[in-house]
Amino acid sequence: MGKVVFITGATSGFGRAAARKFASEGWALVITGRREERLKELAEELCESVPVHYQTLDVRSKEDVDSLVKSLPESFKKITCLVNNAGLALSPNPAQTVDIQDWHTMIDTNVTGLVNVTHALLPTLIEVGKGASIINVGSIAGQWPYPGSHVYGATKAFVKQFSYNLRCDLLGTGVRVTDLAPGIAETEFTLVRTKGDQAASDALYANTQALTAEDIADTMFYLATLPAHMCVNRLEVMPTAQAWNPFAIYRES
């Protein structure tokens, strides 16, 4: 059947754009996400051009992840590329004001979920060997701190270090691992982070040119189709309109 990509969080943003990009290039798809209706719509859109297997999945559940991987139809079992995209940010407020449950949700999704899926698919990727890829969606927040990032930034720092360490363990298998770390991108990210505050989302992206989901999907495909002897360990992608600020200094009045 050719190459197969397994994408988590395919119901919106980077994941949905990635599904469309890989499908446009003839890759078969395994797409997962928590919102069944969106997943079904995407599968129906793309199945006319490429084979598509879809299933709702909460990556936080190891049992559900393992069950899905084991039950994949035979023609979808040979995963060439894993895109660990499922993740979220919550509570962009000072740490001392945040509900602890939001912290747990980010850790369970961004860390535990990514680990669950990676662990379940490692044997398959190693069997494919040369040219197989794991693309972990990190963030510039995993490298650069900012107010309100607290646990979100910490989870993305985990993604970065996990990717590096996985590269060490997979040396000699032919499997590549990349931490893809986007900057500001106009998706549903801020709506989720603010629990539906459209005004906050609009304000963040106003009067600037952020990255698009398609920009990141194109980058994912580039990483997955590099010559097999090449691996990009970490790729930080920011819009030209975004850069760093000086250190903040508190001054007593």
Lowest mean pLDDT among 57-71, 123-137, 184-198: 184-198
Please measure the distance between the N-terminal and C-terminal CA atoms of the chain and give it in whole angstroms: 68
Lowest mean pLDDT among 44-58, 93-107, 181-195: 181-195
Residues ≥6 apart with Cβ < 8 Å to 245: none
Residue 42 included in any domain: yes
Distance CA 80, CA 97 (A): 43
What's the pLDDT at 158? 98
Q: What is the largest CA-CA distance in the chain?
A: 68
Residue 251 included in any domain: no
Q: Please check the confidence at residue 148 and state whether its pLDDT lies above 70.
A: yes
Q: Please check the confidence at residue 42 and state whether its pLDDT lies above 90.
A: yes
Of 20, 29, 71, nearest to 53 (Cα)? 29
Residue 226 included in any domain: yes
Mean local confidence (pLDDT), 113-138:
98
Mean local confidence (pLDDT), 97-109:
97
Q: Cα dihedral sign for 119, 25, 71, 36? A: positive
Mean local confidence (pLDDT), 18-34:
97
Residue 167 CB coordination number (10 Å): 18
* Cα angle 73-220-153, degrees, rounded to a multiple of 5: 105
What single DSSP character describes residue 107? Answer: I
Determine the distance from the C-alpha atom of residue 233 to the mean position of all C-alpha atoms in its chain, rounded to a whole number.
15
Place of tokens 């090449």: 230
What is the total count of domains within the chain?
1
Distance CA 159, CA 164 (A): 9
Determine the distance from the C-alpha atom of residue 155 to the mean position of all C-alpha atoms in its chain, rounded to a whole number.
12
Lowest mean pLDDT among 71-75, 199-203, 219-223: 199-203
Residue 243 included in any domain: no
Q: Please check the confidence at residue 196 and state whether its pLDDT lies above 90.
A: no
206: left (phi over 0), alpha (psi -120 to 50) or beta: beta
At 131, which CATH number?
3.40.50.720
Residue 253 included in any domain: no
HEC per residue, 121-146: HHHHHHHHCCCCEEEEECCHHHCCCC
What's the pLDDT at 248? 93
Residue 63 included in any domain: yes
Positions annotated as catalytic residues are 152
Mean local confidence (pLDDT), 183-193:
90
Distance CA 22, CA 15 (A): 11
Average pLDDT, the chain: 96
Residue 242 included in any domain: no
Q: Please check the confidence at residue 10 and state whether its pLDDT lies above 90.
A: yes
> Residue 187: which domain range?
4-237
Residue 24 included in any domain: yes
Looking at the chain, the whole-number percentage of residues with pLDDT higher than 70 is 100
What's the pLDDT at 70? 97
Mean local confidence (pLDDT), 28-56:
96
What's the pLDDT at 1? 67
- Three-state DSSP class for 52? strand
Give tens-digit pLDDT for 151-182: 999 999 999 999 999 999 999 999 999 999 99
Residues ≥6 apart with Cβ < 8 Å to 27: 2, 3, 4, 5, 50, 80, 81
Distance CA 66, CA 70 (A): 6
Q: Structure pTM?
A: 0.96
82-109 core/surface letters (b: 16 or more CB in 10 A; e: else): bbbbbbbbbbbeeeeebeeebbebbbbb
